[in-house]
Structure 1
Amino acid sequence: MMAPGLIISAPASGAGKTMVTLGLLAAFRAAGLAVQPFKNGPDYIDPAFHAAAAGRPSYNLDSWAMGEARLAGLASFAQGADLVLAEGSMGLFDGVASAGELGNGASAELAARAGWPVVLVLDVSGQAQSAAAVALGFARMAQDVRLAGVILNKVASPRHEALIRDGMARVGIEVLGALPRRSDLTLPERHLGLVQAGEHEGLAETLASLGSFVASHVDLERLRAMASGGFASGQPVAVPPPGQRVALAWDGAFSFVYPHLLAGWRAAGAEILPFSPLANQAPDDSADVCWLPGGYPELHAGPLAAAESFRAGLNHFAQTRPVHGECGGYMAMGQVLVDAKGTPHRMAGLLGLETSFAKRKMHLGYRLARLEAPIPGYGADTRLRGHEFHYATILAQPDQPLAHVEDANGAAVPETGSRRGLATGSFFHMIAQASA
Structure 2
Amino acid sequence: MTCPGLIISAPASGTGKTMVTLGLLSAFRAQGLVVQPFKNGPDYIDPAFHTAASGRKSVNLDTWAMSADRIEGLSGAAHDADLIVAEGSMGLFDGVANTGEAGNGASAELSALTGWPVVLVLDISGQAQSAAAVALGFATMSPDVRLAGVILNKVASPRHEALARAGMDRVGIRVLGALPRRDAIALPERHLGLVQAEEQPRLQQILDDVGAFIAAHVDLDCLRALAGSRIATDQPALPVTPPGNRVALARDAAFSFIYPHLITGWRMAGAEILPFSPLADEVPDDSADVCWLPGGYPELHAGTLATAGRFRKGLRRFAETRPVHGECGGYMAMGAGLVDAQGVQHAMAGLLRLETSFAKRRMHLGYRLARLKSSIPGHATGARLRGHEFHYATILDQPDPPLADVVDANGQAVDETGSRQGLATGTFFHLIVPAS
Q: Aligning the two structures, in what range does the TM-score lie when normalised by the shorter sequence? A: over 0.9
Q: Matches of 1:301 and 1:2 in 2, distance apart? A: 46
CA distance in 1 between counterparts of 2:383 and 2:24 reads 40
- Identify the residue that residue 427 of structure 1 maps to in structure 2: 428
Post-superposition Cα deviations, 1:290-314, rounded to whole Å, max 9, x if no partner, equal: 0000000011111111110000000
Give CA deviations for 1:212-243 in whole Å, capped at 9, x if unaligned: 11001000000000000142242111001111
- Indicate whether 1:21 and 2:21 are aligned: yes
The SS at the match of 1:399 is coil
Classify the secondary structure of the residue corresponding to 1:253: coil
Measure how far apart 1:116 and its partner are.
1.0
Partner amino acid, structure 1, of 2:153: N
Q: Structure 1 residues 229-238 or 52-61, which shifts more?
A: 229-238
- Structure 2 CA distance for aligned equivalents of residues 345 and 165 of structure 1: 56
For 1:256, the aligned partner's letter is F
Q: Distance between the aligned counterparts of 1:275 and 1:286, measured in 2?
A: 13
Q: 1:200-215 to 2 correspondence within 5 Å?
A: 200-215=200-215
How far did 1:189 drift? 0.4
Determine the C-alpha separation between the residues in 2 that align with 1:171 and 1:424. Answer: 56
For 2:132, the aligned partner's letter is: A
Equivalent position of 2:199 in the other structure: 199
Percent identity reads 74
Any unmatched runs of 5+ in structure 2?
none
CA contact (8 A) 1:323 1:423 kept: yes
Structure 1 residue 101, shift from structure 2 partner:
1.0
Asked if the contact 1:114/1:229 (under 8 Å) is kept, the reply is yes
Equivalences for 1:9-408 in 2 at 5 Å? 9-233=9-233, 234-408=235-409
CA contact (8 A) 1:64 1:99 kept: no
**DSSP 3-state at the match of 2:23:** helix
Partner Cα separation in structure 2 for residue 416 and residue 231 of structure 1: 37
Find the aligned partners of 1:262 and 1:187 in 2 and give their Cα distance: 28
Per the TM alignment, residue 186 of structure 1 is displaced from its structure 2 partner at its CA by 1.0
CA distance in 2, matches of 1:162, 1:100: 45
In 2: Cα distance, 1:166 partner to 1:423 partner: 62
- 8 A contact 1:100–1:408 mirrored in 2: no
Q: In the alignment, residue 17 of structure 2 is paired with which amino acid?
A: K
User: Aligned pair count?
Assistant: 435
DSSP 3-state at the match of 1:316: helix
Distance 2:266 2:424 in 1: 20
Deviations 1:359-393, CA, capped at 9 Å, x for gaps: 10000000000111111111111111010000000
Moved more, 237-246 or 226-235: 226-235
Please give the alpha-carbon distance, in whole angstroms, between the structure 1 residues aligned to 2:232 and 2:384: 26
- Give the SS at the match of 1:279: coil
Once the 2 structures are TM-superposed, how far is the Cα of residue 102 of structure 1 from its aligned partner? 1.8
CA distance in 1, matches of 2:395, 2:84: 41
Q: How far apart in 2 are the matches of 1:341 and 1:92?
A: 37
Write the distance in 2 (CA, Å) between the matches of 1:100 and 1:299. 39
Q: Distance in 2 between matches of 1:254 and 1:112?
A: 34
TM-score when scaled to structure 1?
Answer: 0.99
2: CA distance, partners of 1:101 / 1:170 = 41
Structure 1 position 418, deviation (Å): 0.5
Give, in angstroms, the shift of residue 100 of structure 1: 3.6
Q: Write the deviation string for residues 151-176 of structure 1: whole angstroms up to 9, x where unpaired.
A: 01111111110110011000000000
Deviation at 1:2, TM superposition (A): 2.7
Aligned-pair CA distance for 1:251? 0.7
CA apart distance, 1:427? 0.2
Whole-angstrom CA distance in 2 between matches of 1:326 and 1:111: 30
Distance 2:194 2:264 in 1: 24
**C-alpha distance in 2, partners of 1:333/1:100?**
36
Structure 2 distance, partners of 1:199, 1:100, is: 41
In structure 2, C-alpha distance between the alignment counterparts of 1:198 and 1:136, rounded to whole Å: 39
Letter in 1 for 2:78: A
Over the aligned positions, Cα root-mean-square deviation in angstroms equals: 0.8
C-alpha distance in 2, partners of 1:399/1:100? 34
> Is contact 1:41–1:61 with CA below 8 Å preserved after alignment?
yes
| Residue type of the alignment partner of 2:361 | R
1:289 to partner: Cα distance: 0.7
User: 1:176 aligns to what SS in structure 2?
Assistant: strand
Q: Is the 8 A contact 1:2 1:75 kept in 2?
A: no
Letter in 2 for 1:16: G
Secondary structure of the equivalent of 2:315? Answer: helix
Q: TM-score, normalised by structure 2?
A: 0.99
Task: Tell me how far 1:266 sits from its aligned partner.
Answer: 1.1
The CA distance in 1 between the partners of 2:224 and 2:70, in whole Å, is 26
2:159 is matched by which residue type in structure 1?
A: R
Q: Work out the CA distance in 1 between the residues paired with 2:428 and 2:60.
A: 19
After TM superposition, give the deviation of residue 99 of structure 1 in Å: 4.1
Deviation digits for residues 175-210 of structure 1 (CA, Å, limit 9, x no counterpart): 000011111001110000001111111111110111
Structure 2 letter corresponding to 1:215: A
Give the match's secondary structure for 1:401: coil
Moved over 6 A (4+): none
For 2:15 and 2:100, locate their aligned partners in 1 and report how far apart those are by CA, in whole Å. 29
1:287 is paired with a residue whose SS is: coil
Letter in 2 for 1:28: F
Q: Secondary structure at the match of 2:256?
A: strand
Report deviation, 1:425: 0.2
Distance in 2 of aligned mates of 1:369 and 1:118? 33
Measured in 1, the distance between the counterparts of 2:232 and 2:380 equals 31
d(CA) in 2 for partners of 1:145, 1:99:
21
**C-alpha distance in structure 2 between counterparts of 1:95 and 1:201, whole Å:** 34
